[in-house]
Amino acid sequence: MGRKSKPGGPGGDDGPESSAPAPSMGMANGLAGMMAANPMLAGNPFLMAAMMNNPLLAAGRPQGGTAAQSEPPISTMIDPDVQELCDYFHIEERHARRLSDIMKNRQKTFVEDMERLYDVLERANSPAGLLVVKMREMEEGTFVGKVKADKELAALSKKHRLDDQAESKLADILARYDEERRREYLVEIERHLEVSSRPSAMAMMLLRKLGEGQPLGRPGPPAPGSYIDKQQREQRGGSDRGSGGDRGGGRDRDRSRDRRGGDRDRDRDRRGDRDRDKDRDRDRDRDGSRRGGGE
């Protein structure tokens, strides 16, 4: 007996079966299926070896006996802040997912955007419908987040006691203009607020012209209770006190007239008394004359 050579080596005693490479687990399963479908393949080892060495068949079999790894699924988590907003306004989940996807691309203005959404949705009759509009503005690049009032506007707001809504609206609109135009508008706005007894309402009335870039026009006369009206009354403080003295003098004159009227009444009463006394005297004289004539 000669020495057994290695499988596949020259002069080996093994048959063709020994020269074929050992099939992997995945390949063995594939061949088993093919042999089950075609029993003639099992009786032809040469054909089976040729099929195993076919590069086209090798490309289709799994490597390392493991299945191909699928791509990791895309995260469907909704941002917690977005979820909180949608829960607060009872927004549907599909809108919440869309908003969460949009906000992923607005991380630099995330806080301002969310504050603006809370602000506008709070006053909306249909928060869900308005949110759809605002999401479309975000996608188009026209949405502006909440803008904080600068020092000049904050001072103006404090001077005229503007409410939060009026201050916020003015800040949003003025932020659209450059520094020079914004300062010009602040001067015009203050002139209108100074003559109004309801500055916050006046500010809201000016928003349309501000948004359209129109001049605000000349302010009207100072309304009672307005800032200018109060300033004018303070400046007239001395004259008001003087006029108050006149009013007091008028009351004194009224009392004097009352006293004079009372004196006239008393004089009339005295004259009436004297007249009655004279009438009585005449009556007595007549009675005496009659009695004297009768005697």
Sign of CA dihedral 120, 126, 127, 128: negative
Residue 274 has pLDDT above 80, yes or no: no
Instruction: Tell me how long the chain is.
Output: 295
Residue 277 has pLDDT above 50, yes or no: yes
Are 131 and 91 in contact, with CB atoms under 8 Å apart? yes
pLDDT (0 to 100) of residue 187: 94
Measured distance CA(98)–CA(104) in Å, rounded: 10
Please state the rounded mean pLDDT for residues 63-85. Answer: 67
Cβ contacts of 27 within 8 Å, gap of 6 or more: 52, 61
Cβ contacts of 37 within 8 Å, gap of 6 or more: none
pLDDT (0 to 100) of residue 244: 53
Range with the largest mean pLDDT of 1-5, 127-131, 290-294: 127-131
Residue 11 pLDDT class (50, 70, 90 cuts): very low
pLDDT (0 to 100) of residue 7: 46
Residue 172 pLDDT class (50, 70, 90 cuts): confident
What is the pLDDT of the chain when averaged over all its residues?
A: 75
Report percent pLDDT > 90 for the chain. Answer: 38
Amino acid at 194: E
Please state the rounded mean pLDDT for residues 99-114. Answer: 92
For 4-13, 125-134, 155-164, which range has the lowest pLDDT when averaged over its residues? Answer: 4-13
DSSP per position, 197-266:
S-HHHHHHHHHHHHHHT-------PPPTTSHHHHHHHHHTHHHHHHHHHHHHHHHHHHHHHHHHHHHHHH
Are 215 and 184 in contact, with CB atoms under 8 Å apart? no
pLDDT (0 to 100) of residue 242: 52
Measured distance CA(260)–CA(265) in Å, rounded: 9
pLDDT (0 to 100) of residue 12: 46
CB hemisphere CA count around 222 (13 angstroms): 12
**174-181 LR contacts (CB < 8 Å, sep 24+):** 174/210, 175/144, 175/147, 177/213
pLDDT (0 to 100) of residue 265: 59
pLDDT (0 to 100) of residue 164: 87
Are 26 and 65 in contact, with CB atoms under 8 Å apart? yes
Measured distance CA(188)–CA(201) in Å, rounded: 16
Cβ contacts of 156 within 8 Å, gap of 6 or more: 162, 186, 189, 190, 193
Assigned token pair, 142: 């026209």
Closest residue by Cα to residue 207 from 170, 246, 171: 170
Sign of CA dihedral 52, 55, 59, 64: positive
Residue 248 has pLDDT above 80, yes or no: no
